[in-house]
A and B are shown apart, each in its own frame.
Chain A
């Protein structure tokens, strides 16, 4: 086991097996230990990438095209770090969340939760290092089944229905993706992304229809408007740590596959109108998701609708990559989108954990019931505020840098209309975040009974929120890492790869 790839795959899956078979209350602690270990492995891989450039790995010693190869560049490394960091903190949170004393049901929940949780981590890792079209399908499928099971864990009609909708949408999406993969295999005769990229270079063999199937399937999984209808209830009715991870990471995983294929493999096959269309759907998602978030009465649903909006920003990067001439703005658009992915992962993770804490303490998550939060749950209120800042994209958060880069790209690529969308989205998110924060600060009579909240829950969301802020204060290293193996360069002279 001398390669970080091995540990990234081995640790979470081995943990899933062990925690499923072994009884005992040590399970959540073991899960925590393994997420920390996975973070260490991600760090190891990131430092290898940093020092030596992109890393590869041939499973079973079989090189592509016959075997399955793994690959990690700066993008993979950053997303792996984000994944294990968010899941580690969410694991801390779950120590408190599932420890509700003397409740048999929560004990059952916790028992089923830990192995599914570790399998989810393993499938995210597998996905972020995959370089094979079909292996990506299997990883996406693992992710979906684990996600659906974790949503349904909450029990009750709402969660079950939400899980069902999620499963139906994701099942259809997988089949659309697989149909695309079948067509691509018929065209290129290989599954390895690097080999396909070679064959597709220049755009003489542009499998437009196959790509349409692939991107449609992945768009459904990434909850791109108008394929987002499954998301809000699925994310809102899951147990809190699950909501956090679904919104922070699982949706991004599907987007990551789109990004990889669009930019790294089929850059010469995708057309400018397709990029504009992707951007338009993203813009519609921003407006629709924000609008719904403003209307919702339940806290977790507000946060879930906001995910639909935030995913919309990611799709803006595709039209911004087009444009006439050479320029650093392509790196700005691409890296800005990726940084938004990361920053939103931490901010949204923090928000969902904080929302879960409020639900835990108050017994419901009606916004109108949130009054007096500053006195009852001060730490949670602070993390709510910080994460809110990051969500809106105010300085000094990571989202501020991300949005700034996207805005720069809109101007330099002469596509001002996307700047209008970003501006409108920022105002709308400001409005729904303000609505939540003002409710929290309303000094009102306190609710009669508040369940005491384990401290670990409050601190886990605070640390996540602070990280989303820290990404704005210390951005140099992440961007240097991101540039390793990137399709675009920070410096104008290096552009044109």
Chain B
């Protein structure tokens, strides 16, 4: 098992953990954490691929992609938390009611 394969496998594991958390947890904050773990999995795969592609240095294109991805993730996270906060202000809870989904 090469270093690339090891971290790529870890990416698969993290992806599953994050996805499970996203599905199972009802609190909005925890759903956001689940998404951030999925994000970490994606970044891990990209960086592992960059490592596999290395010459004098690792492939810089996936590195730039991950930097962008990290910034995008923090943006979406902040927006989600601000929404969660306002939802709490309006309704007193930070969970989404389940029955609304079926309509």
Near A by CB (< 8 A), chain B positions 27-42 give 28, 31-32, 35, 38-39, 41-42
For the complex formed, measure the closest distance between the CB of A75 and the CB atoms of chain B, giving whole angstroms: 26
B79 and A149 within 8 A (CB): yes
For the complex formed, measure the closest distance between the CB of B11 and the CB atoms of chain A, giving whole angstroms: 9
Once A167-B79, A168-B35 are accepted as A-B contacts, the answer to whether A189 and B45 lie under 8 Å apart by CB is no
Which chain B residue shows the least CB distance to A162?
B100
Near A by CB (< 8 A), chain B positions 1-26 give 15, 22
Chain A residues with Cβ below 8 Å from B46 are 182, 185
- B86: interface (CB < 8 Å): yes
Cα A296 to Cα B103 in complex, Å, equals 9
Near A by CB (< 8 A), chain B positions 77-103 give 79-80, 83-84, 86-87, 90-91, 96-97, 100-101, 103
Which of A27-35, A89-97, A171-179, A449-457 binds B? A171-179
B76 and A232 within 8 A (CB): no
Which chain A residue shows the least CB distance to B64?
A134
A145 and B35 within 8 A (CB): no
A171 and B87 within 8 A (CB): no
- A377: interface (CB < 8 Å): no
B42 and A161 within 8 A (CB): no
Cα A103 to Cα B100 in complex, Å, equals 31
- A152: interface (CB < 8 Å): yes
B72 and A141 within 8 A (CB): yes
For the complex formed, measure the closest distance between the CB of A444 and the CB atoms of chain B, giving whole angstroms: 27
Which chain A residue shows the least CB distance to B45?
A182
Cα A363 to Cα B50 in complex, Å, equals 56
Once A157-B87, A160-B87 are accepted as A-B contacts, the answer to whether A175 and B75 lie under 8 Å apart by CB is no
Chain B residues with Cβ below 8 Å from A292 are 103
Partner of B42, one of A175, A189, A232: A175
Chain A residues with Cβ below 8 Å from B65 are 134, 181, 185
Cα A90 to Cα B90 in complex, Å, equals 29
- A186: interface (CB < 8 Å): yes
Which chain A residue shows the least CB distance to B86?
A160
Once A149-B79, A167-B80, A179-B41 are accepted as A-B contacts, the answer to whether A185 and B49 lie under 8 Å apart by CB is yes
State the interface size on chain A (CB cutoff 8 A).
37
Cα A191 to Cα B59 in complex, Å, equals 13
Once A161-B87, A161-B96, A178-B42 are accepted as A-B contacts, the answer to whether A145 and B79 lie under 8 Å apart by CB is yes
For the complex formed, measure the closest distance between the CB of A99 and the CB atoms of chain B, giving whole angstroms: 26
- A163: interface (CB < 8 Å): yes
For the complex formed, measure the closest distance between the CB of A305 and the CB atoms of chain B, giving whole angstroms: 9
Once A161-B96, A165-B96, A167-B76 are accepted as A-B contacts, the answer to whether A183 and B101 lie under 8 Å apart by CB is no
- A164: interface (CB < 8 Å): yes
A163 and B61 within 8 A (CB): no
B80 and A171 within 8 A (CB): yes
Chain A residues with Cβ below 8 Å from B103 are 232-233, 292, 296, 301
Once A179-B15, A182-B45 are accepted as A-B contacts, the answer to whether A168 and B39 lie under 8 Å apart by CB is no
For the complex formed, measure the closest distance between the CB of A205 and the CB atoms of chain B, giving whole angstroms: 16
Chain A residues with Cβ below 8 Å from B76 are 141, 144-145, 167, 171, 174
B62 and A171 within 8 A (CB): no
Chain A residues with Cβ below 8 Å from B62 are 182, 185
Partner of A145, one of B32, B38, B41, B75: B75
Chain B residues with Cβ below 8 Å from A149 are 79
For the complex formed, measure the closest distance between the CB of A169 and the CB atoms of chain B, giving whole angstroms: 11
Once A134-B65, A185-B62, A229-B101 are accepted as A-B contacts, the answer to whether A175 and B35 lie under 8 Å apart by CB is yes
Which chain B residue shows the least CB distance to A186?
B49
B83 and A160 within 8 A (CB): yes
Supply 20 further A-B pairs (C-beta < 8 A) apart from A168-B31, A182-B42, A233-B100. A66-B61, A141-B76, A145-B75, A148-B83, A149-B79, A156-B90, A157-B90, A157-B91, A160-B87, A161-B91, A161-B96, A163-B83, A164-B87, A165-B101, A171-B76, A172-B38, A175-B38, A175-B42, A296-B103, A301-B103
Q: List 9 A-B contacts (CB under 8 A).
A: A161-B91, A172-B22, A179-B45, A181-B65, A182-B45, A185-B65, A186-B52, A191-B61, A233-B103
7 residue pairs, one from A and one from B, having the closest CB atoms: A157-B90, A186-B49, A182-B45, A182-B46, A164-B83, A175-B38, A179-B42
Instruction: Point out residues on B near A: beta carbons under 8 Å.
Output: 15, 22, 28, 31-32, 35, 38-39, 41-42, 45-46, 49, 52-53, 61-62, 65, 68-69, 72, 75-76, 79-80, 83-84, 86-87, 90-91, 96-97, 100-101, 103
Instruction: Point out residues on A near B: beta carbons under 8 Å.
Output: 66, 134, 138, 141, 144-145, 148-149, 152, 156-157, 160-161, 163-165, 167-168, 171-172, 174-175, 178-179, 181-183, 185-186, 189, 191, 229, 232-233, 292, 296, 301
